Structure 1
Amino acid sequence: MYEPVRTTSVHAHGPHRSRQEELEIRLAGHFTALLTVTDELRVLTPSAELDDAAARLAVRVERLQGHSPVRAVPTTGAATPARITALHQRAHMLAGQALVVATQRGDVAGAALASERMHAHAGFLFP
């Protein structure tokens, strides 16, 4: 009725990562993206709070990846209210994604940092 499979699956070869490793990679990606948006906000609306947040995010990414994060050069342009709001919305979303992954991974420190950043950006969006 059915012919047996005669070749091995293309998916059966190569190194496999554990669920924990996959979550670690995803969390580092979310924190790196959040760091990029935070750097952009730092250029447009300089503040000590954003400087501190960027430093803590960079340390967190370094712990997850084992090396300093690659940091993008912030774009130049006008600090319009619409642009700043859009960046805060993006940061809020990224912090939420990081919170979900950190929670799945059981990373208490990562979850706390993500939650704090989410709250900070929500404070701007919903005063």
Structure 2
Amino acid sequence: MYWKERMLIFLEACSLDILEAVIDGPYVPTIASTGDSSIPKPRSDWVSNCKTAKEMWDTLQQTHEGTTDIKRAGINTLMHEYKLFNMKKDESVNDMQTRFTHIVNNLNALGKVIDNE
């Protein structure tokens, strides 16, 4: 997923120690009382309730990617659309291509790769 790759790159740029702590845990994030504005603060209630960076990462991952059942349901829905794909009446070729690309990209994001054949 796009958000995940960007976050991993950002964390790696900050420090490999931070990236390792987020992915492997345990790290208990604290906010210094010095008023340092460079220290990131949680932006959402569902993340601010987490006790470790690993817990925050897992929460973000599940929130944006969903559980296995949600992924499977999404793949099934998109595969149904893919198999029954055809041009709609009064639809331009450009709109049809955009709709098709959207289906294929979403399938790829869920881990289902569609061959070009």
TM-score category (smaller protein): 0.3 to 0.5
The alignment's TM-score, normalised by the length of structure 1, stands at 0.32
Greater per-residue helix proportion? 1
Please say which structure displays the higher CA radius of gyration: 2
The alignment's TM-score, normalised by the length of structure 2, stands at 0.35
Higher relative contact order by CA 8 Å / sep ≥ 6: 1 or 2?
Answer: 1
